[in-house]
Amino acid sequence: MTAKIRFALVGTSGIAHAHIAAVKKNHHAELISIYSRSYDRAKHWADRYGLRPAQHFEDILTDRSIDAIIVATEPARHLDYAFLALEAGKHILIEKPIDLNLEKAISFLQQARDYKNIVTVVSQQRFDPGFIALRNNLLNGAVGRPILASLELYWNRTAHYYQEGTKWRGQYGSVLLNQGIHWIDLALWTFGNPHRVGGFSKSTRKELLCSDTAIACIEFPNGPLLYRLARRLPLGICILRILLNAWKGLMTTGRMIAGRVTLMWILSSRRNMTRRCRQPAST
């Protein structure tokens, strides 16, 4: 029987609950320790989830029973922990975004290549069934060469969201960096590195120091021209729509969340049309 991968969680932010639940559901992994800059907070979470609190981050680095760490702190501290974990020989899963500083992120990437550690950044949307279907049909030529891609994101974020934790979400948690990054990642995964990038962003709320509205235009040398609109709204609804125009037809995948979830994707071309819809579960 293969031994379980033993994790430590660094950070007790809002997303930490999701990481704990994900590891506990995985039969090949085990979460054994948790660290926070506040030891009292670490003890609180440890008691709640049956974990071992670490008083110092060095305790995790020197613990040979820990194979990997999950970095789930606020983004400005991600690589502060990841650099040390890399040198300690730990495998690393970093919450998105990898960092706020591009030069720092590039330096980490270059250094990570010299180690055998597995290092990755959270990109869970790559496992979305609707997008996987869209991407597979694109890559196997079902609709021909892609011409134009449009991605629209309207995400619910109330005033309470920006006040949580250290309030970093209202200081540098811009809509592209925090929410839109998932779908930028999908575009890079599908079409490769861009040729040209441009755009605009602004804040529509006076209490924010970062943008909650953004428009980006990305040109891929061997792919489509991508138009990207992202907007955070103080409403109880989340909408995502991806539309891809290709030489032979049209593909789209979408998601709307308003209390319950509906996922659907539609593929249409000159040769065929497929429609699939997963209805919301009854409450």
| CATH number of the domain bearing residue 197 | 3.30.360.10
| E runs forming strands in 11-50 | 29-35
Q: Tell me, yes or no, whether 61 and 153 share the same domain.
A: no
Measured from the Cβ of residue 146, the count of other Cβ atoms closer than 10 Å reads 20
Same domain for 51 and 130?
no
Do 138 and 208 belong together in one domain?
yes
Is residue 195 situated within a structural domain?
yes
Token pair in block for residue 145: 């060469």
Please identify every stretch of the chain with a pLDDT value under 50, giving residue numbers as ranges. Answer: 257-283
107/147 same-domain check: no
Same-domain check for residues 148 and 258: yes
Q: Of 95, 122, 149, which marks where a domain is finished?
A: 122
111: which residues sit within 8 A by CB, 6+ positions away? Answer: 83, 86
Does a structural domain hold residue 187?
yes
- How much is the pTM? 0.85
Question: What pLDDT digit, counting tens, does each position of 113-171 carry?
Answer: 999 999 999 999 899 887 888 888 888 888 788 888 888 888 888 888 888 888 888 88
Question: Which residue, 122, 155, 177, sits at the end of a domain?
Answer: 122
111 and 136 co-located in one domain: no
pLDDT at 223: 82
Q: Give residues with Cβ within 8 angstroms of 32, minimum separation 6.
A: 6, 7, 8, 51, 52, 65, 66
Same domain for 144 and 200, yes or no, is: yes
Whether 113 and 185 share a structural domain? no
What pLDDT, in 10s, does the model give residues 94-107?
999 999 999 999 99
Task: For residue 146, give its domain range.
Answer: 125-278
**210 secondary structure, DSSP code:** S
Tell me the CATH number at 29: 3.40.50.720
Residue 283 lies in a domain: no
User: Is 70 within the bounds of a domain?
Assistant: yes
Last residue of a domain, one of 90, 122, 154: 122
Same domain, yes or no, for 52 and 152? Answer: no
What is the model's pLDDT at position 236?
A: 61
Q: What is the pLDDT of residue 20?
A: 97
Name the strands in the sheet holding 29-35, side by side, starting at the edge strand that comes first in the sequence: 52-54, 29-35, 5-10, 68-71, 91-94, 119-121
d(CA 47, CA 53): 9
What is the distance in angstroms between the CA of the first residue and the CA of the last residue of the chain?
Answer: 40
Same domain, 139 and 273: yes
How many domains would you assign to the chain? 2
Selection from 22, 17, 113, 23 nearest residue 66 by Cα? 23
